[in-house]
Amino acid sequence: MSFFPASRTGSPSVSRRNFMRFASMVAAGTALPFADPFTERTLAQIPTLKHAPPPDAVLINLNENPMGPAPEALEAAYAATRNGGRYQDIQHAHLKQALADREGLKPDYVQEFAGSSDALLRIVLAFTSPSRPLIVGDPTFEAAEKTARLAGAPVIRVPLTKTYAFDVKAMVAASPNAGLYYIVSPNNPTGTVTPLADVKWLLENKPKGSIVLLDEAYIHIAKDGGEPASGLVAADKDIIVLRTFSKIYGLAGLRAGAAFARPDLLDKIRIYSSFLMPASGMAAAVASLNSKGLVEQRRTTITNIREDVLSFLEKQNTPYIPNSQANCFMFDAKRPGGEVIEALQEQKVYVGRAWPIYPTYVRVTVGTKEDMEKFKAAFVKVTT
């Protein structure tokens, strides 16, 4: 049974009342009505926190940036709170223009959101239905799949290639009626990149009327800043690009993100959102964009710490998925991942989760140098 009933055209008939009910349930952490028993079993395999982590715990589990907001962003956020009693139309315009200028886009090709996950949920609702499936890589960030299943849309998982990129040819072959293709590059949880050439191939060979959703949450961490897809948006392709300020900019708790797409595609997702963002988040986002050298400095720091930990794993004869270009990586625990996750928690080190397709692999976020030294010590204790 679908949480959102289908209309006669096969598109999800999502009333404002149903959508707001869904959104409020998500925000409250309420159990949601999954129709697919396999999804329920999958989620049951993800270890949950039995209690709040102790104050001295190492938190390298959510792909957060421990460096937090830049000093300029903190100052801007604080200043913005003094005007928090007003709606923020002017601040929205500043953020939209700043993003458009940075990406070489027209302002009406940019829509700001309270984090990119908000946009992701709304895009899935807009472009999938019981007759138009969501096509995803496996493994990848699960929010798109969970949302599609709640809306009654089929989900087709396609394993990554041998180089851990999204297999775009297999994704096209998976369904002639795809509504949405979801690609994350660099990918969460593997950290690996799907070449922009593959995204272009997908756009040229996908079924007519389908949309490519490219999640670039980690693009700034990739080598040399990655190869962004803004040019495909400017060329009016059937693509929506997601960005977030949660990763390289360290604004996860302030909620700032954006979607880039043709105006007609953005119009299709505007019916699901009021686009209210906190004044502090928008001000911090603009200040972050204008902070000279911030991205390059943080990319270097994250890369150096990540490579140091991967060298440690090599010395421990522990396999890991190579070529991560994100602030996370996956190592092979050589036993059920959940067991190692719980064992590390007993050492006050909280890492990420395992995915069903790689049941012995565990995702680890790149924390501070001190965090990762504590991870190394705990790793030795629980694996020897």
Categorize the per-residue pLDDT at 33 as very low, low, confident or very high, splitting at 50, 70 and 90.
very low
pLDDT in tens, 188-214: 999 999 999 999 999 999 999 999 999
Residue 361, strand partner residues: 332
Name the residue with higher pLDDT: 123 or 226.
Answer: 123
* Per-residue confidence band for 349, with pLDDT thresholds at 50, 70 and 90: very high
Q: H/E/C letters for each residue in 229-268?
A: CHHHHHCCCCEEEEEECCCCCCCCCCCCEEEECCHHHHHH
Cα gap 236→229, rounded to integer Å: 12
Between strands 134-138 and 180-184, the pairing is parallel
Q: Report the distance separating Cα 278 and Cα 284, nearest Å.
A: 10
Max CA separation in the chain (angstroms): 59
For residue 313, is pLDDT > 70?
Answer: yes
The pLDDT value given to residue 270:
80
Two structure tokens written together for 17: 């009342």
pLDDT band at 45 (very low <50, low <70, confident <90, very high): very low
278 — pLDDT class (breaks 50, 70, 90): confident
Q: What's the pLDDT tens digit per position in 149-188?
A: 999 999 999 999 999 999 999 999 999 999 999 999 999 9
Partners of 240 in the beta sheet? 213
The alpha carbon of residue 146 and the mean position of all alpha carbons in its chain are separated, in whole angstroms, by 13
Chain length of the chain = 384
Within 8 A by CB and 6+ apart from 327, the residues are: 63, 65, 191, 218, 221, 247, 302, 306, 365, 366
- Res 316 pLDDT > 60: yes
Domains in the chain (CATH in brackets) are 39-63+294-383 (3.90.1150.10), 70-289 (3.40.640.10)
- pLDDT of residue 20 exceeding 90: no
- Average pLDDT score, the chain: 87
